[in-house]
């Protein structure tokens, strides 16, 4: 039997009659989450920049789950494309109920090597793309008097910061503050906004960009994960589905970390003592005992 965390969690039909939009839903974690929402009965609107990738993802998800899936090419940096995407989604499915701001762009680079355009490219996708989508759908919900739910895929360095991914860190921090701000401002409209900060969940795109083998063992994330394993896509999908569903109706403005304890391992002042061997501890404790007596 598979471990319980790799099993789908929510009851069948949780999203029946609901439509959920996922930016960047054609690949990676966006694709995994989308497939699960569809399996739970959602109509899906997924978008990505490459039309052939998004269209074949839509067909594959629909074939796997039997659900309705509309795959549209859309560059979230462009408000007019975002508006057109939601208009097409509304035409096909009627009211849209949920949005997952998942589309992202990132690369590792010493900050002083970045051009202004490199910085802008990431900010435009991650921060502006997130507010373009949130604003476009939020306006529709408010005008139509319909409740809605937004989920941002964030990161723990949205609050710790991180070197070598500064444009992404700045953007994710801004997007998280937007979630918290709007959770307060738009609660009166029945709109909830939350975020997830995932740790290491292997995907082809992110891992080849952010952990290239050329970096050597320094990039081995396993060494920094207290729970000693990477995340499974299903456990992230379970959390995402919960936060989009009515089961979490009283949760808004939250950011839930799902990283096996990784960011705390990096934060704790003495956590590097993890590398001290058992024999070294024996010697150390004996020496301290001698000092006390
Ligand atoms: N290091 C330094 N600069 C880089 C870079 C890198 N690894 N990759 C791109 N850039 C710079 C480019 O040189 C360019 O700047 P310039 O015009 O001053 O030379 C700028 O960033 C834009 O690059 P470009 O490839 O034209 O932009 P794009 O809009 O097509 O791509 C990115 C956007 C840069 C975010 C790209 O990595 C991307 O499309 N990623 C999508 C997928 C992704 O990152 N997913 C997230 C996985 S975690």
Helix (H) or strand (E) holding 134: helix 129-144
Could you tell me if 158 and 173 are in contact, meaning their C-beta atoms sit under 8 angstroms apart?
A: yes
**pLDDT at site 209:** 72
Look up tokens 């979230």; give the residue.
76
Out of 118, 120, 125, 158, give the residue to mutate to test ligand 1, the one with the largest number of ligand atoms within 8 Å of its CB: 118
Q: State whether the beta carbon of 115 lies less than 6 angstroms from ligand 1.
A: yes
**pLDDT at site 42:** 98
Q: Per residue of the chain (293 residues), give pLDDT as tens.
A: 568 899 999 999 999 999 999 999 999 999 999 999 999 999 999 999 999 999 999 999 999 999 999 999 999 999 999 999 999 999 999 999 999 999 999 999 999 999 999 999 999 999 999 999 999 999 999 999 999 999 999 999 999 999 999 999 999 999 999 999 999 999 999 999 999 999 999 988 777 777 777 777 666 667 789 999 999 999 999 999 999 999 999 999 999 999 999 999 989 888 889 889 999 999 999 999 999 88
Backbone angles phi, psi at 249, to 5 degrees: -55, -20
**pLDDT at site 2:** 65
Ligand 1: residue whose CA is nearest its atom 7: 107
Q: State whether the beta carbon of 121 lies less than 6 angstroms from ligand 1.
A: yes
**Secondary-structure class of domain 12-292 per CATH:** alpha beta
**pLDDT at site 206:** 77
**pLDDT at site 94:** 97
Out of 108, 121, 125, give the residue to mutate to test ligand 1, the one with the largest number of ligand atoms within 8 Å of its CB: 121
What are 253-291's pLDDT values in tens digits? 999 999 999 999 989 888 889 889 999 999 999 999 999
Cα of 106 from ligand 1 centre, angstroms: 7
Cα of 229 from ligand 1 centre, angstroms: 30
Q: State whether the beta carbon of 4 lies less than 6 angstroms from ligand 1.
A: no
List, by residue number, the catalytic residues: 157
Q: Please list the residues that pair with 162 across neighbouring strands.
A: none
**pLDDT at site 14:** 98
Task: Provide the 10 A C-beta neighbour count for residue 9.
Answer: 17
Per-residue tokens: 15? 């999203």
Ligand 1: residue whose CA is nearest its atom 43: 105
What is 226-263 written as a DSSP string? TTSSPPPHHHHHHHHHHHHSGGGTT--S-EEEESTTHH
Cα separation values, 108 from 76, 170, 182, 209, 222, Å: 22, 14, 30, 7, 19
Q: State whether the beta carbon of 8 lies less than 6 angstroms from ligand 1.
A: no
**pLDDT at site 1:** 52
**pLDDT at site 4:** 87
Q: State whether the beta carbon of 112 lies less than 6 angstroms from ligand 1.
A: no
In the sheet that holds 43-48, the strands lie side by side as 69-73, 43-48, 19-23, 98-101, 148-153, 191-198, 255-258
**Residue-range domain boundaries for the chain:** 12-292
- Which residues in the chain belong to E strands, given as ranges? 19-23, 43-48, 69-73, 98-101, 148-153, 191-198, 255-258
Ligand 1: residue whose CA is nearest its atom 15: 118
């Amino acid at each position: 039997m598979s471990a319980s965390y790799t099993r789908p969690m929510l009851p069948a039909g949780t999203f029946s009659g609901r439509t959920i939009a996922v930016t960047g839903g054609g690949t990676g974690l966006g694709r995994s989450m989308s497939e699960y929402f569809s399996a739970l009965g959602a109509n899906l609107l997924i978008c990505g920049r490459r039309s052939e990738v998004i269209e074949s993802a839509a067909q594959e998800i629909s074939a796997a789950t039997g659900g309705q899936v509309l795959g549209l090419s859309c560059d979230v940096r462009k408000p007019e494309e975002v508006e057109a995407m939601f208009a097409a989604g509304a035409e096909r499915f009627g009211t849209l109920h949920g949005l997952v701001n998942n589309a992202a762009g990132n690369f590792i680079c010493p900050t002083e090597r970045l051009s202004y355009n490199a910085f802008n490219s990431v900010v435009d996708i991650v921060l502006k793309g997130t507010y373009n989508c949130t604003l476009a759908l939020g306006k529709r919900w408010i005008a139509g008097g319909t409740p809605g739910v937004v989920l941002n895929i964030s990161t723990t360095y949205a609050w710790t910061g991180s070197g070598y991914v500064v444009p992404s860190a700045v953007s994710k921090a801004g997007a998280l503050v937007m979630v918290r701000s709007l959770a307060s401002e738009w609660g009166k409209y029945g709109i909830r906004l939350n975020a997830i900060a995932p740790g290491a969940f292997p995907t082809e795109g992110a891992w080849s960009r952010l952990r290239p083998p050329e970096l050597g063992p320094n990039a081995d994330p396993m060494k920094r994960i207290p729970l000693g394993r990477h995340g499974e896509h299903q456990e992230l999908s379970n959390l995402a589905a919960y936060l989009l569903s009515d089961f979490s109706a009283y949760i808004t403005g939250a950011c839930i970390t799902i990283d096996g304890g990784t960011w705390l391992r990096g934060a704790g002042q003495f956590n590097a003592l993890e590398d001290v061997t058992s024999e070294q501890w024996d010697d150390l404790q004996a020496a301290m005992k001698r000092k006390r007596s």
